[in-house]
Chains A and B, each alone.
Chain A
Amino acid sequence: MSGTRPRGAGDNRGHSARGSPTLPLRGAERREGGFSHAVGAPEPPAERGRGRRRLAVVVPAVAVVCGLVVGGLAGARVVGRRPAAAVARPAGAAGAPAGTVGPVEQLRGAGTLLFTDPRGRAHAQAADGRDHRVLGQLGELASRPAPSSSDLEAAAFLLASAPDERLAELGPDGDTVYLRTADGAAAVGRLVDGSVRRLAPAGWRSTGAPRHSADGSVLGVCGYRLGGSPSPSVAAARSWVLDGSGNRLATLPGCLYDVAADGGSALVADPAQGRLAGPVPAGQGRRSPPVGASDQLTRGLRLWRRDGSFRPVLGFADVVRVFRTVRPGVDPRGLVVVTAVLGPGGRQALVRIVDALADVDPRTGAEVEVLALVDLATGRAEPVAEHLPGWFAFLPTGGWAWTGGAGTATYQPRDRPPQLLRSGIAGDGVYAVVPSPDGAWLLLAGATWRFIRADDPSVQVTHPAPGRLATWAPAVTR
Chain B
Amino acid sequence: MGRLLGDPEVWDDSPARPRPAVRGLAGLAAGAVAGLLLAFAVVPRPDPPPPEVMLPPSAEAPRLRVEKQLLYSASIGGGPMLVSRSGRLEQVNADGTERRVVAQNLRASAVVGPDRAGVLAAVDSGIVTRVEANGTTRRLGPADFVAGGLAGAGRRLLACPDPAEQPPDDGLLLDAVSGRASRVRLGCPVAWAAHGGRFAGTGGPWTRLEGFRRAAAVPRGGSVLIGRPGTRPRVLLDTRRLRAAAGRGAVVDGLALSPDGKLVAVSAGRPGRPWLVLVVGADGRQLASIPLAGGHRPAWLGWSDRQGSTTLAVAAVDRRGDLATAELAARQGTGYVLAWQPGGSSRVLAAGVPMVAADGFAWSSDGGSVAVSSPAGVLVVKQADVVYTTASPVTGTLLAWPAQAAP
Contact = CB atoms under 8 A, between A and B. Distances in A.
Interface of A: 34-35, 38, 49, 52-53, 55-56, 58-76, 78-90, 102-103, 321, 324-329, 363-367, 380, 382-383, 385-387, 404-408, 410, 412, 416-424, 456-460
B215 interface: no
A325 B2 contact: no
Interface stretch (B16-24, B196-204, B365-373): B16-24
Contacts, number: 242
A204 to B, nearest CB: 37
Contacts of B3: 35, 38
Given A71-B31, A79-B43, A327-B346, A88 B52 contact: yes
A383 B36 CA distance: 80
Contacts of A422: 62
Interface residues of B, number: 77
Interface stretch (B80-88, B122-130, B181-189, B337-345): B337-345
A207 B318 CA distance: 36
Interface of B: 2-5, 14, 17-21, 23-40, 43-54, 56, 59-65, 288-295, 332-336, 338, 340, 344-349, 351-353, 356, 385-387, 389
Given A59-B27, A417-B356, A404 B34 contact: no
Nearest to B342: A329
Contacts of B18: 49, 52-53, 55-56
B25 to A, nearest CB: 7
Given A53-B18, A59-B27, A76-B39, A408 B353 contact: yes
Contacts of B63: 420, 423
Nearest to B341: A366
Contact of A67 (B4, B35, B54, B288): B35
A80 B39 CA distance: 9
A387 B349 contact: yes
Contacts of A324: 290-291
Contact of A60 (B26, B61, B333, B336): B26
A86 B78 CA distance: 57
B58 to A, nearest CB: 8
A102 B35 contact: no
Contacts of B293: 325, 382-383, 385
Given A387-B351, A422-B62, A457-B62, A74 B338 contact: no
Contacts of B38: 68, 71-72, 75
B348 A387 contact: yes
Contacts of A82: 46-49
B45 A79 contact: yes
A71 B4 contact: no
Q: Sorted from nearest, which 4 A-B pairs have the closest CB atoms?
A: A67-B31, A75-B39, A71-B35, A35-B2
A363 B386 contact: yes
Nearest to A322: B293
Given A74-B35, A416-B332, 10 more contacts: A38-B5, A64-B28, A68-B34, A70-B32, A82-B47, A83-B48, A326-B338, A329-B288, A382-B295, A407-B65
Nearest to B335: A385
A321 B276 CA distance: 12
A29 B65 CA distance: 91
B352 A386 contact: yes
Given A405-B387, A459-B59, A68 B35 contact: yes
Contacts of B340: 328
Nearest to B388: A406
A328 B290 contact: yes
Contacts of A70: 28, 31-32, 35
Contacts of A405: 387
B39 A79 contact: yes
Nearest to A380: B294
B59 A67 contact: no
A422 B345 CA distance: 29
Contacts of A419: 61, 353
Contacts of B26: 60, 63
Contacts of A363: 385-386
Nearest to B292: A325
Contact of B348 (A71, A83, A367, A421): A367
A90 B31 contact: no
B115 to A, nearest CB: 35
Contacts of A86: 49, 51-52
A239 to B, nearest CB: 30
A410 B51 contact: no
A457 B44 CA distance: 49
Nearest to B321: A415
26 contacts: A52-B18, A56-B19, A56-B20, A61-B27, A63-B25, A63-B26, A68-B38, A70-B31, A79-B40, A83-B48, A85-B51, A85-B52, A90-B54, A325-B291, A326-B338, A326-B347, A329-B346, A363-B386, A367-B346, A380-B294, A410-B353, A417-B334, A417-B356, A418-B353, A419-B353, A458-B61
Given A59-B23, A80-B43, A418 B334 contact: yes
B288 A458 contact: no
Given A87-B52, A325-B293, A382-B293, A67 B27 contact: yes
A52 B64 CA distance: 89
B39 A66 contact: no
A406 B59 contact: no
A416 B334 CA distance: 9
Nearest to A50: B18
B49 A85 contact: yes
A416 B333 CA distance: 7
B33 A418 contact: no
